[in-house]
């Protein structure tokens, strides 16, 4: 089959083309708000072009990686679209990472240009030199000198690389194509029942998270308005005020944030049409509190991971109470199986790993063919979540194959923390487990076998040691000492045993839930 | 660096979708017609067998498989088997005449034609005939469909990518000869998502398929369940029975279906219609504007269900604009607003945007725009001039973004939901020895909305051909719905200074079908 003339241009579906379409169809509609600042679609498109021109002048070419290190602000969205317009790849960096971690990710993806906020750059002074730095604070660049190049971008090519850790080793860059994100947008809009351009979205997530960015993209796709929340510290009262001011019709928060929003809202009215949560389990009392505070507003929980461009399953409406604890049912286009170690389907109701196919499954890990092959063994993406499916088709997460803690909405991979702590001279052996936390849902605890049992290291010294090497949210908040770690016959640490041993007596339990 | 493509994991092509649906819900019913009920596992198994059987007949990736049948299960199965092989399904309108079918077969040269006994005789022999598979074959040289389904050896799956061609749908144009619009898997998937987004779609719609499966609307509908895991209901027969339709809507808990306004009116008028236990969520109407009385009856009979009228064309994988019932009352005559993913402009001859409120040609971009016209690079290039698909529809847009079709650049009549290209009818009439000049226009018709009327300048004014003669002349050359239903003999055609026929003057002159303009016309 020979493609027709103009094939690429006429039916192109890359992200910059999508924005161009919106700038044509909704030029004056408000695309984005942040504080008192705002962008119309036409302005967003123009600023994205200006950023594209600037980056082109700095030598960015199709396929190049451009890292972005910034807290939430409008310029981040300009920059994301400016990068993809050039056919280059956005690498958003978590603003809470340590210098070592940032450097690792920059080196791993080979980014030569870093778009960063001045204040964050000052926290990582040694990052400046090897990179060509563009300061977010200096955007927009002087406009109009040269038109932004707009090469034909294959929607199958990578648009984003988002770093995520796994069971083993250092973080890996998950590559998401334009098409991944567009189909994630379609599925998410259908899953959440968002159709009209009259919607206003308030997301409590940072843009460097797939959950934050994909939800922004979703609302922009239908010409709606997105209100960016500050990603520096959560203030429930300010969030409520912003939602009231901008007339938010939808919002995403992690459960602890919803709790705070319910506490803060008082007599104020928010015209919500849906309230969305995810990242960690929400206890029944919270769901009830949400429905009392916002009567009649559908409750939606989202479940997924970076490698599937965010949500794969949602739990909606009446099901959120009837099937509480379930992650719901797969979104349109997402195929799931629940399989054993030999990729055989387990009988309905039994536990297996949930694996995925579909247009939102990532392209692979950057420069990690082995890890990609492993994650996609048998032609399905292996989530690492152990699930069962009930007779009604609802999926329940019962455990994780990947050893991970979700704290305050952030994923912490135990292996990563353990590998840092094992380099501490006072530590002979270490296992990191998640313990319940009233605010963060879970928090890391280091269980340590000291090198010298008579003089174990000072717990605060261990915590400081971790903090020096890792993002702050990854450091253990408590340390326990043991003589020996319990292990099974093949030498694997029995973390379940450790968790029950060190879990404080508390009424709260819940199903485990992954980041959306 | 683009990583190597994994064949299965991200696949959206319809063969992969069928495999997954059958895996996820093997025992759920997917297809119901008066004759049969089929589960996903059964459909998957039959399509698998048929695909292998077609491969045994030599069908390969990129080959064409023509389909000439009335609505029945085997149409769905043949499409899916072709798609699973990476072959291109070519649906044929069963109302076409032998020469019209022959033209298409010669144009796209399918390796296999799947048809039914009642229609197989309609295909005249040609130089390179496809292997003919007949679904209800009794004996003879034809290959039996069921034999293929049951008897083939298992073959390794064919990798079909999203940008592969899925359908080649013939549509006429200004030139008179039909052209095959090639639609990819991705075109049709994007179209399904776009419609769902625009209508607040959800999982598992139950679609009543009352439109022909050879039509782009039928194709889009029958592929729907592959994405949303819903069901397809195919009603009995060719005749429309409002009471039986209502029973069917209730019995099968249909959520989505299309009828023309007069059919909806009849359904709503069935006594007790409002008290039925219906699940109808998306009643579609189209082919003509719905009068307020019909929209009101629909709103009362199906409370809470937002009705929609769809507008589009084959080259855009069907729908580009939707008009909701709620808007239809205050936006009479509008085709609605564009659906998500479809990018539109209204442009003048130089591809410059016209100001709001002024008339321009509507041009399209987006993932639902066809790949190309089969074997016609010049026609493709012409259609894609300036990087946009030129629809030929002249529209204006109001300040709320609603579009109104005011005229067509392509000279076309829509009669009973079928597109009739005037140039094609004119060419047929022109071949009559008694005709010197001819122009065909659409005039109002109480049932078909519009119907063709021919204005003929006779070679010999003293002995003009009769209307019956002209219509009979067309009958052997054109599908029946294309033939004029009235003929007006005139001394000359009105022309502008440039010599172009002023059809608007003929339309004014033409009146409506039941009010003939001149005594010489017949109806």
- Shortest distance between the Cα of A436 and any Cα of chain B, in A, equals 35
Residues in chain B with CB shorter than 8 Å from the CB of A357 are 8-11, 16, 20
In contact, A256 and A410? CB cutoff 8 Å: no
What pLDDT score does B511 carry? 47
| Nearest-angstrom CA–CA distance, A260 and A114 | 35
Q: CA-nearest residue of chain A to B341?
A: A18
In contact, B493 and B458? CB cutoff 8 Å: no
Out of A358-372, A395-409, B496-510, pick the least confident. Answer: B496-510
Question: Using 50, 70 and 90 to split pLDDT, how confident is the model at B91?
Answer: very high
| Nearest-angstrom CA–CA distance, A126 and A130 | 9
Question: Using 50, 70 and 90 to split pLDDT, how confident is the model at A506?
Answer: low
Higher pLDDT, A404 or A454: A454
Q: Which of A22, A111, A186, A334 to mutate to test the interface with B (most CBs of B within 10 A)?
A: A186
* CB neighbourhood size of A291 (10 A): 17
Give residues with Cβ within 8 angstroms of A104, minimum separation 6. Answer: A170, A171
CATH architecture of B185-342: 3-Layer(aba) Sandwich (3.40)
Out of A375-379, B360-364, B448-452, pick the least confident. Answer: B448-452
Question: Using 50, 70 and 90 to split pLDDT, how confident is the model at B177?
Answer: confident
Task: Write the residue in A157, A179, A380 that is nearest to B2 by C-beta.
Answer: A157
Torsion, Cα of B399, B401, B404, B406 (10° steps): 60
- Shortest distance between the Cα of B116 and any Cα of chain A, in A, equals 29
Average pLDDT of the residues in A253-277: 93
- What DSSP state is assigned to residue A135? E
* Fold match between domain B34-160 and domain B185-342: yes
| Nearest-angstrom CA–CA distance, B274 and B298 | 10
* First-last CA distance in chain B: 67
* CB neighbourhood size of B432 (10 A): 18
Q: pLDDT tens for residues B452-485? A: 999 999 999 999 999 999 999 998 888 888 999 9
Question: Is the pLDDT assigned to residue A507 strictly greater than 70?
Answer: no
Tabulate helix, strand, coil % of chain B (nearest 5): 30, 25, 40
| Nearest-angstrom CA–CA distance, B216 and A39 | 39
| Nearest-angstrom CA–CA distance, A375 and A127 | 32
What pLDDT score does A89 carry? 98
Q: CA-nearest residue of chain A to B198?
A: A195
* Angle subtended at Cα B258 by Cα B256 and Cα B260, rounded to the nearest 5 degrees: 150
If we measure between CA atoms, which residue out of A279, A242, A284, A237 comes closest to residue A261? A237
- What DSSP state is assigned to residue B264? H
Question: Using 50, 70 and 90 to split pLDDT, how confident is the model at A5?
Answer: very low
What pLDDT score does A513 carry? 40
| Nearest-angstrom CA–CA distance, A203 and A427 | 41
Q: Which of A2, A6, A159 to mutate to test the interface with B (most CBs of B within 10 A)?
A: A6
Task: Write the residue in A21, A193, A337 that is nearest to B343 by C-beta.
Answer: A21
Residues in chain A with CB shorter than 8 Å from the CB of B203 are 329, 332
Average pLDDT of the residues in B46-61: 95
Chain-chain contact of A358 with B197 (C-beta, under 8 angstroms): no
Q: pLDDT tens for residues B294-316? A: 888 999 999 888 889 999 999 99
* CB neighbourhood size of B296 (10 A): 14
In contact, A257 and A234? CB cutoff 8 Å: yes
What pLDDT score does A515 carry? 40
β-pairing, A89-92 with A65-69? parallel
Task: Write the residue in A13, A360, A366 that is nearest to B367 by C-beta.
Answer: A13
Q: pLDDT tens for residues B314-338? A: 999 989 999 988 888 888 889 999 9
Three-class secondary structure assignment of A400-448? ECCCEEEECCEEEEHHHHHHHHCCCCCEEEEEEEEEEECCCEEEEEEEE
Q: pLDDT tens for residues A160-199? A: 999 987 555 678 999 999 999 999 999 999 899 887 789 9
Q: Would you call B378 helix, strand, or coil by DSSP?
A: helix
Burial (0-12, 13-18, 19+ Cβ within 10 Å), A497: middle
| Nearest-angstrom CA–CA distance, A85 and A19 | 10
Q: pLDDT tens for residues B217-272? A: 999 999 999 988 899 999 987 788 999 999 999 999 999 999 888 889 999 999 99
Chain-chain contact of B366 with A158 (C-beta, under 8 angstroms): no
Question: Using 50, 70 and 90 to split pLDDT, how confident is the model at B512?
Answer: very low
CATH architecture of B413-509: 2-Layer Sandwich (3.30)
Q: CA-nearest residue of chain A to B61?
A: A1
* CB neighbourhood size of B27 (10 A): 9
Higher pLDDT, A232 or B391: B391
What pLDDT score does A514 carry? 41
Chain-chain contact of A195 with B62 (C-beta, under 8 angstroms): no
Peptide bond preceding A140 in cis form (omega within 30 of 0): yes
What pLDDT score does B121 carry? 84
Considering the entire predicted model, what is its pTM?
0.84
What is the gyration radius of the CA atoms in chain A, in angstroms? 23
Give residues with Cβ within 8 angstroms of B247, minimum separation 6. Answer: none
Chain-chain contact of A193 with B196 (C-beta, under 8 angstroms): no
In contact, A66 and A83? CB cutoff 8 Å: yes
| Nearest-angstrom CA–CA distance, A468 and A431 | 19
| Nearest-angstrom CA–CA distance, B409 and B395 | 10
Higher pLDDT, A132 or A117: A117
- Shortest distance between the Cα of A393 and any Cα of chain B, in A, equals 9
Residues in chain B with CB shorter than 8 Å from the CB of A111 are none
Question: Using 50, 70 and 90 to split pLDDT, how confident is the model at B3?
Answer: very low
Q: pLDDT tens for residues B6-37? A: 567 888 899 989 988 998 889 999 999 988 99
Question: Using 50, 70 and 90 to split pLDDT, how confident is the model at A410?
Answer: confident
| Nearest-angstrom CA–CA distance, A243 and A275 | 12
Question: Is the pLDDT assigned to residue B5 strictly greater than 60?
Answer: no
Give residues with Cβ within 8 angstroms of A395, minimum separation 6. Answer: A313, A326, A327, A328, A329, A330, A336, A338, A354, A387, A388, A389
Using CA atoms, how far residue A456 sits from A354, A420, A469, A475, B481, in Å, is 41, 17, 21, 18, 92
Give residues with Cβ within 8 angstroms of A342, minimum separation 6. Answer: none
What pLDDT score does B138 carry? 73
What pLDDT score does B328 carry? 86
In contact, A305 and A331? CB cutoff 8 Å: no
Q: How many helices (H) does chain B have, and how many strands (E)?
A: 16, 26
In contact, B188 and B110? CB cutoff 8 Å: no
Torsion, Cα of B386, B392, B397, B401 (10° steps): -70
Out of A145-159, A409-423, B496-510, pick the least confident. Answer: B496-510
Question: Using 50, 70 and 90 to split pLDDT, how confident is the model at A509?
Answer: very low
Question: Using 50, 70 and 90 to split pLDDT, how confident is the model at A487?
Answer: confident
| Nearest-angstrom CA–CA distance, A228 and A207 | 9
| Nearest-angstrom CA–CA distance, B166 and B89 | 6
Q: Would you call B152 helix, strand, or coil by DSSP?
A: coil
What pLDDT score does A409 carry? 79
* CATH 3.40.50.980 at B34-160, yes or no: yes
Question: Is the pLDDT assigned to residue A466 strictly greater than 60?
Answer: yes
Question: Is the pLDDT assigned to residue A21 strictly greater than 60?
Answer: yes
Using CA atoms, how far residue A386 sits from A342, A355, A406, B98, in Å, is 14, 10, 16, 60
What pLDDT score does A347 carry? 94
Chain-chain contact of B2 with A4 (C-beta, under 8 angstroms): no
Average pLDDT of the residues in A377-383: 93
Q: Which residues pair with B311 in a beta bridge?
A: B321
What pLDDT score does B498 carry? 62
Residue ranges of domains in chain B: 34-160, 185-342, 413-509
Chain-chain contact of B9 with A189 (C-beta, under 8 angstroms): no
Per cent of chain B over pLDDT 70 is: 92
Chain-chain contact of A180 with B10 (C-beta, under 8 angstroms): yes
Positive/negative CA dihedral, B227, B233, B234, B239: negative
């Amino acid at each position: 089959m020979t493609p027709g003339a103009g094939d690429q241009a006429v039916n192109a579906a890359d992200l910059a083309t999508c924005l161009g379409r919106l700038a044509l169809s909704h030029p004056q509609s408000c695309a984005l708000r942040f504080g008192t600042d705002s962008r119309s679609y036409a302005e967003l498109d123009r600023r994205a072009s200006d950023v594209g021109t600037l980056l082109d002048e700095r030598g960015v070419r199709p396929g190049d990686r451009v890292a972005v290190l910034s807290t939430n602000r409008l310029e981040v969205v300009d920059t994301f679209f400016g990068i993809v317009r050039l056919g280059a790849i956005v690498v958003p960096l978590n603003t809470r990472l340590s210098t070592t971690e940032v450097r690792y990710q920059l080196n791993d993806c080979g980014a030569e240009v870093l778009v960063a906020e001045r204040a964050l750059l000052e926290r990582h002074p040694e990052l400046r030199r090897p990179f060509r730095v563009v300061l977010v604070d200096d955007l927009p660049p002087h406009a109009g000198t040269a038109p932004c190049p707009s090469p034909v971008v294959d929607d199958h090519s990578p648009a984003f690389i988002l770093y995520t850790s796994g069971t083993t080793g250092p973080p890996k860059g998950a590559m998401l194509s334009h098409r991944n994100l567009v189909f994630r947008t379609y599925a998410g809009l259908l899953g959440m029942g968002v159709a009209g351009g009259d919607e206003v979205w308030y997301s409590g997530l940072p843009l460097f998270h797939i959950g934050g960015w994909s939800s922004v993209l979703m609302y922009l796709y239908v010409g709606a308005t997105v209100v960016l929340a500050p990603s520096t510290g959560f203030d429930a009262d300010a969030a409520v005020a912003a939602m009231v001011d901008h007339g938010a019709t939808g919002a995403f928060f992690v459960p602890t944030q919803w709790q705070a929003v319910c506490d803060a809202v008082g007599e104020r009215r928010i015209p919500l049409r849906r309230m969305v949560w995810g990242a960690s389990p929400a206890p029944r009392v919270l769901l009830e509190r949400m429905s009392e505070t916002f009567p009649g507003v559908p409750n939606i929980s989202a479940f997924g991971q970076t490698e599937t461009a965010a949500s794969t399953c949602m739990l909606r409406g009446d099901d959120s109470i009837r099937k509480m604890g379930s992650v719901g049912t797969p979104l349109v286009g997402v195929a799931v199986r629940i399989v054993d170690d030999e990729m055989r389907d387990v009988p309905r109701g039994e536990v297996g790993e949930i694996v995925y196919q579909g247009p939102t499954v990532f392209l692979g890990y950057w420069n990690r063919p082995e890890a990609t092959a492993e994650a996609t063994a048998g032609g399905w993406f292996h989530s690492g979540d152990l699930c069962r499916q009930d007779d009604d088709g609802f999926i329940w997460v019962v455990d994780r194959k990947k050893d991970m803690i979700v704290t305050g909405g952030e994923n912490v991979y135990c292996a990563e923390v353990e590998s840092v702590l094992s380099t501490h001279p006072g530590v002979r052996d270490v296992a990191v487990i998640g313990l319940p936390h009233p605010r963060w849902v879970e928090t890391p605890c280091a269980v340590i076998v000291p090198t010298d049992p008579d003089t174990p290291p000072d717990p605060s010294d261990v915590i400081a040691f971790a903090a020096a090497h890792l993002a702050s949210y990854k450091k253990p908040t408590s340390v326990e000492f043991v003589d020996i770690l319990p292990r099974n016959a093949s030498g694997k640490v029995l973390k379940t045993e450790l968790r029950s041993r060190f879990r404080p007596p508390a009424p709260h339990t819940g199903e485990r839930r992954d980041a959306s | 660096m683009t990583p190597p493509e994994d064949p299965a994991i991200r696949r959206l092509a319809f063969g992969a979708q069928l495999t997954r649906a059958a895996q996820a819900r093997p025992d759920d019913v997917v297809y119901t017609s008066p004759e049969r009920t089929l589960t996903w596992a059964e459909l998957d198994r039959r399509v698998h067998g048929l695909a292998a059987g077609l491969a045994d007949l030599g069908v390969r990736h990129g080959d064409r498989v023509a389909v000439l049948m009335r609505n029945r299960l085997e149409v769905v199965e043949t499409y899916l088997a072709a798609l699973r092989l990476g072959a291109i399904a070519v649906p044929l309108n069963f109302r076409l005449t032998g020469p019209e079918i022959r033209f298409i077969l010669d144009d796209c040269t399918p390796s296999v034609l799947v048809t039914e006994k009642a229609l197989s005789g309609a295909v005249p022999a040609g130089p390179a005939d496809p292997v003919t598979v007949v679904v209800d074959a009794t004996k003879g040289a034809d290959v039996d469909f069921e034999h293929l389904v049951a008897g083939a050896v298992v073959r390794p799956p064919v990798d079909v990518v999203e940008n592969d061609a899925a359908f080649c749908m013939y549509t006429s144009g200004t030139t008179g000869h039909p052209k095959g619009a090639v639609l990819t898997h991705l075109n049709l998937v994007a179209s399904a998502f776009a419609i769902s987004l625009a209508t607040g779609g959800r999982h598992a719609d139950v679609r009543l398929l009352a439109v022909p499966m050879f039509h782009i609307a039928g194709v889009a509908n029958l592929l729907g369940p592959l994405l949303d895991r819903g069901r397809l209901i195919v009603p009995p027969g060719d005749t429309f029975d409002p009471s039986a339709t209502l029973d069917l809507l209730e019995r099968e808990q249909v959520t989505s279906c299309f009828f023309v306004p007069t059919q909806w009116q009849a359904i709503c008028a069935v006594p007790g219609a409002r008290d039925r236990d219906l699940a109808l969520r998306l009643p579609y109407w189209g082919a003509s504007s719905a009068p307020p009385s019909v929209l009101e009856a629909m709103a009362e009979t199906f409370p809470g269900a937002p009705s929609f009228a769809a507008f589009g064309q084959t080259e855009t994988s069907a729908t580009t604009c939707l008009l909701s019932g709620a808007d239809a009352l205050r936006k009479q005559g509008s085709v609605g607003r564009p659906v998500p993913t479809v990018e539109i402009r209204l442009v003048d001859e130089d591809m410059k945007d016209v100001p709001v409120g002024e008339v321009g040609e509507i041009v399209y971009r987006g993932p639902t725009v066809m790949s190309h016209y089969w074997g016609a690079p010049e026609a493709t290039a012409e259609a894609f001039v300036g990087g946009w698909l030129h629809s030929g529809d002249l529209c204006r847009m109001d300040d709320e973004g609603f579009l109104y079709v005011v005229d067509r650049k392509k000279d076309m009549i829509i009669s009973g939901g079928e597109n009739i290209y005037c140039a094609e009818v004119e060419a047929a009439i022109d071949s009559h020895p008694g005709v010197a000049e001819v122009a065909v226009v659409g005039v109002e018709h109480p049932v078909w909305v519009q119907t063709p009327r021919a204005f003929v300048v006779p070679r010999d004014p003293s002995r003009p051909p009769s209307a019956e003669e002209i219509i009979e002349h067309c009958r052997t050359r054109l599908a029946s719905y294309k033939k004029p239903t009235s003929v007006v003999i005139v001394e000359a055609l009105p022309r502008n200074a440039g010599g172009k026929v002023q059809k608007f003057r003929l339309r004014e002159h033409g009146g409506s079908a039941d009010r003939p303009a001149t005594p010489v016309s017949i109806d």
